[in-house]
Amino acid sequence: MDTPVRKELPVSALIVDIMVQRTQFDQKRVENIVAKFNKAALGVITVSERDDGTLVIVDGWHRWEAVRRVTDNQGVLDCEVFSGLTLAEEAQLFLDKNYTNAPKILDKFRVRVTKGEPFATEIADILRSYHWEIAATIGNGQVNAVGALEKIHALSKAKEADPALLQLVFVAINNAWGQDRYGAQAHVIVGLGSLFAEHGSLIDMDRLVNVLKNWKGGPEGLVTNAKASAAIHGMKVAYALANLVTERYNVGLRVKTLPNWRIRK
């Protein structure tokens, strides 16, 4: 990575690319900068000058937005400008610059995907293959529970699961509830992922899907029941969910196919 050049640039010339940035900025933070505006305290923002001349903010979005508001988009900012960076290098620079002032886990995850980090990219590819996407917004086909995804994929790696646990989880979710946003809650992902990790080939996918599909209230009802059970038994909600699904799965079988779920704190 080349040494950056220090330049003063007009705010009107700079843009934000969410491929290498947060999806949203903190309005209150911007308003606070505006209310106490002091140009000398803004410091230097980091910019990438792309091959087509586009000037992309890598670090300093809040300060840039504050200056835009104060100066009616006519101000200038002191910038360190990098040239010739790839998209992955821009993403890494964003992560480096925000190491101590970490962005939200979801935004950081997206930038890790842009960077091409294998672990994050594998998760994103699995979701994409089942028509889901990581998103800050809440909607059908969108997943916000990045921590849950990473937990189950790490468990999958540790167990060398094939197929990956997240694949099994989203096959079950899709076949039971389609792209219902409530089906991809953290408790559901961790609960089902843990279930597959525990019982593996003992699980008949069609039977499991039938259990989930016919759960009263759908995924919302399942999570509500799991929260109530967790409170009674002193369990984590995801594990209470796995326990409830195990019990329902075994109903009607002469011999229990799945062993009783081990109580976990």
DSSP state of 99: S
Tokens encoding 66:
């504050």
Confidence check: pLDDT of 210 > 60: yes
Q: What is the pLDDT of residue 208?
A: 97
Q: What is the pTM of this model?
A: 0.67
Considering only CA atoms, which of 116, 65, 71, 129 is closest in space to residue 90?
Answer: 116
Confidence check: pLDDT of 23 > 80: no
The mean pLDDT of 104-110, rounded to a whole number, is 80
Q: Report pLDDT digits (tens) over 52-75.
A: 999 999 989 999 999 999 999 999
Considering only CA atoms, which of 233, 230, 130, 248 is closest in space to residue 190?
Answer: 230
Any alpha helices (H) in 82-216, and if so which ranges? 87-97, 105-115, 118-129, 146-159, 165-177, 186-199, 205-213
The mean pLDDT of 85-109, rounded to a whole number, is 77
Residue 229 to residue 134: CA distance in whole angstroms: 29
Which band of pLDDT confidence, cut at 50, 70 and 90, is reported for residue 102?
A: low
Q: What is the pLDDT of residue 1?
A: 67
Confidence check: pLDDT of 100 > 70: no
- Answer whether CATH 3.10.129.10 is correct for domain 5-106: no
Q: Report pLDDT digits (tens) over 151-180.
A: 999 999 999 999 999 999 999 999 999 999
Considering only CA atoms, which of 183, 209, 185 is closest in space to residue 196?
Answer: 209
Q: What is the pLDDT of residue 263?
A: 64
Q: Report pLDDT digits (tens) over 120-151.
A: 999 999 999 999 998 877 789 999 889 999 99
Sorted by where each begins, the domain ranges of the chain are 5-106, 117-250
Q: Give me the chain's average pLDDT, please.
A: 90
